[in-house]
Amino acid sequence: MPPLSVTFEFTRGSAPASRIEEVAREILDELNDPDSEASGMAQRAGLNRTELLDAQTAVTEGEHGADPFLTPIIVGIIANVGSTAAEALWEKVLWPRIRRRLGADAIGEQKVPAKDG
């Protein structure tokens, strides 16, 4: 089964896409350590940590408009898990930690989620 790709689109917040991606990668790296905070959060979210070890994220900025704050931020998660687990990985593991590190306004409101893959 090919890895599933799930994307979430948000309005831009205070953090640039590159910074969000950097923090998201650090958190995913933590999953290699079963005693890490990220692993604990994954477990509490009902996720199988070992299934997430190959998970990757890509955070990009969408089309630039006249107003840079209208530029969407697109978060992509590629993982060998179902879409529900990928969504839980974002909502219960990645976003709470990104929020804590970069701020509650790091990203803006979520737009209608899109899925493929």
Partner 1 sequence: MRPMSPYVGLEPAMWRNLLALATIFHATRTKLCEFCIHIDENRVVQKVMLDLELHAQVCAAQNLDDDETVNRVISGWKGQLDNVLGLQLETDIADFLTELRTLMCRDRVSDPFRKIFDGVAKLASAVYGENWRLPTLEVAHLGRHPRESSNDAYAVTAATPWPPDEASAEVELRIYCDRFRPAAFAAVPMLLTHECVCHVPARQDRAANDSAFAEGLLDWTAYVYYENWVVKLDRELAPAARQHADLLRRVLTQADGPEGRARRLGHLAAEYLQAWFEDSCEQPPAEAKKTVARLAVQLNIVDRPLSHKDHFVSLVSWPMRPVVANALSKWEYDEVSAEVLLDTATGLPLP
Tell which one of 35, 104, 112, 116 touches partner 1 (CB under 8 A): 104
Task: Find where tokens 């799930």 sit.
Answer: 6
Please name every residue paired with 116 in a beta bridge, in sequence order, or none if there are none.
Answer: 5
Residue 106 in contact with partner 1, rule: CB under 8 A: yes
Residue (of 47, 46, 36, 102) closest to 73 by Cα position: 102
Sheet strands (E) in the chain: 4-12, 56-61, 73-79, 107-110, 114-116
Residue 99 in contact with partner 1, rule: CB under 8 A: yes
Contact pattern from residue 2 through residue 21 relative to partner 1, giving x for each residue in contact according to CB under 8 A and a dash for the rest = -----------xxx------
Residue (of 115, 41, 40, 110) closest to 78 by Cα position: 115
Tell which one of 53, 100, 113, 114 touches partner 1 (CB under 8 A): 100
Residue 103 in contact with partner 1, rule: CB under 8 A: yes
Nearer to partner 1, 41 or 55 (CB): 41
Binding positions for partner 1, rule: CB under 8 A: 13-15, 96, 99-106
